[in-house]
Structure 1
Amino acid sequence: MAGSPRARKQSLLRILPRRTRGEGDAPAPERLAIPREIRVLIAAAFVIAIGFGLVAPILPQFAQSFDVGVTAASVIVSAFAFTRLLFAPAGGWLVEKLGERPVYIIGLLIVALSTAACAFAADYWQLLIFRGLGGIGSTLFTVSAMGLIVRLAPPSIRGRVSGAYATAFLLGSIGGPLIGGLLAGLGLRVPFLAYAVALLVASAVVFFQLRDTSLADRQAARHQAPLSVREAVRDSAYRASLMSGFANGWSSFGIRMALVPLFATAVLDAGPQVAGISLAFFAGGTALSLTVSGRLADTAGRKPLVITGLLVNGAAMAALGFSGSIAVFLAICVVGGIGTGLLNPAQQAAVADIIGTGRSGGKVLATFQMSADLGAIFGPIVAGLIIDRLVVGSYALAFVATGALALVAALTWLAARETLPRQSRDRVPG
């Protein structure tokens, strides 16, 4: 009967927001669609990544147009990463004070305005300052986007959501340089203006699409204090995530971007085209594995995917230094990208599991982001010291050191707990 207690309970469950249900009550991943709010964030990530890809290839060249050397041009690139690292704790604090959505939009607007200012920079120092300010905005919207995904993604599909978000960024990063190369023909300043416009579009979409949802604001039901870093560090999975984040930043954002292209030109005697193609092959391997890694992280568990990704990526990076031909080199690049694609969704889902949907974790997310940024900064530096000072010209040793770090991170995860609730795995049909 429609008026029976059982019928009333079922009707109530149908209209209750998913966030009010317990994490263990989440439906099976196959039956649960990605929430609309997260689809908005994924679309915004694609736009942001395209914009970033517009300026990344021409930034060093634009810096050199002010009559500076290679080192000064490289500092322009590093300034963005440095300010991201420096202001990450402030980003986490703001997320806990203001909420994820306002900080996300503020971050996008800062990057938009600073990028537009880069287009009108009159000298090198202005460009350096404006680019550094962009790093502040970047860390704000990165930490807040992670926080929104933590709160909006049902626990049983966190891996799939992380995979979809990473795929959007990856596709945008691939398409951005292609568009940027075309726009650069109109002048080196034009891509910066195009990126600023893309960011304004993304911020407007997020503002209007998430304006009327309580899930996007700090006023949503939170009955617990924010999760502190000290509390999170007591969790073996969070400690392992910091280690794997550092190793991933070292390998994927540091060594891959700085050492792999140099190896292609200096050791394999290949032209700059092969160096660029190698990065595309890495991205292709990542895209290939992202098609399945998110769902696997929601069924097999976060821990197996993280360990597998670390081992695959670490083995590939160690092997790169011994590749004797371009064909072998590019094949190993694909394998390394596959490892990264296996690792990232599961790792981000694990951090989301640790925080949970009922608490804010801005500082915890910022610390996790800092671990990857530190790896990205120190990886190329240590590799350069190995090649230039320790064993001159030994790219192989630098790559082996990168693989060894990934192995250490995998061993750390062996001792960590599985964060995916057991019932979420048990409910997936065989």
Structure 2
Amino acid sequence: MVAYYSGTYVGRGSDTRQSCDLLRLSFCLNIIIQPPVIQRRFNELNFNVNMGSVVASDVEQLKQAIAECKRLILELPEHSGKQKDTVIKLIHLRLKLQELKDPEEDEPNLQVLLEHRFSKEKSKSVKQMCDKCSTIIWGLIQTWYTCTGCYYRCHSKCMNLINKPCVRSKVSHQSEYELSICPEVGLDKQDYRCAECRTPISLRGVPNEARQCDYTGQYYCNSCHWNDTAIIPARVIHNWAFEPRKVCRTSMRYLALMMSRPVLKLKEINPLLFNFVEELVEIRKLRQDILLMKPYFITCKEAMEARLLLHLQDRQHFVENDEMYSLQDLIDTSRGRLSCSLTEIHTTFAKHIKLDCEKCQAKGFMCELCKEGDILFPFDSHTSVCHDCFAVFHRFVFEHIRYNTNCHMPYALLWGLGRDRFGLLNFVVTTLY
């Protein structure tokens, strides 16, 4: 079924605008006609251009054919079958003209500009927008590129106009967040110009509306600020607020690239956060336990062959320390995902050490005071480790002797700790503390 088309729509605007309008029309109306029907209609209209190929040999002939199509569309009866078929013909002529003007084979597959590494896209999607000119990228007829570092998209014709460096270079050289909440300086301090491209802007919205970025606190024009939203790290750390806020394009890319980087040391930035968010306390304990398990794995051949530590390959910092967090860690914590996944990994690790592997079981400990009960491990919930002598105790025993005795390093040797176990525990505690 062919959707109706108004004949007064085609005659407006420039050729470029008409081309875009016609292409948009073809996609939006979802025109479906069989080739034989089209060819019969074309023969009735005395066209010399076939559906699959264009007889016109150069651009001028195509332009003449396009002009003839536009004239006929305006002259033919509105909503008639001939008018609808002529619109379809005009679309195909436009496509062919664009191919002749911008041959795809002349465009390089890779271009480097301002630290961007632009790769030619093969997708024919029409849902992308050019980050330079802020218009639709018609993938069906236009060549376009995407930066493999920051995912900046643009037409091939806009390449030479780009003046913004790749955001990934900033991430590589300056991996830190702005930790003040919307640090506004005022539009007058920016001389009423966009903070990025220096285009004149105003709060009145004429001609360019000033749009504030909630991450930087600065104001931008509508070409540099598309009202994209992102979670702001400062609001998460200080208010535990995860509501997305409007940010400029550069901030959006920067926050996306920084999302998984462990650069937030919560204990220094906002230590009180652990008093109000119970999930963070639970996750910190799980991370400490995993660090206590790590020495068992790096000294166990079976664990290395099973690559147990790869369970945390997406969060490598979890096997390095228990203090650094990424913004993604905090987001997953608020949604309950991180606690669940860490609990599963903790269970898998503990099962290997305490049940599956005899070598790891042999590196367990007895309570150095009561000498009773099962074999103890530093990561057990009912055990405690002395920071001075590295001995392992039942927690209730340790709480008693901690306030009644002075512990010294020789104390551990007096209890007859084996060299292998003592060395392992020394490594465990120094790794954690």
TM-score when normalising by structure 2: 0.23
Output the TM-score relative to the length of structure 1. 0.23
Q: Please identify which structure carries the higher helix content.
A: 1
Q: Bigger radius of gyration, 1 or 2?
A: 2
Q: Specify which structure has the bigger relative contact order, considering alpha-carbon pairs within 8 angstroms and separated by 6 or more residues.
A: 1
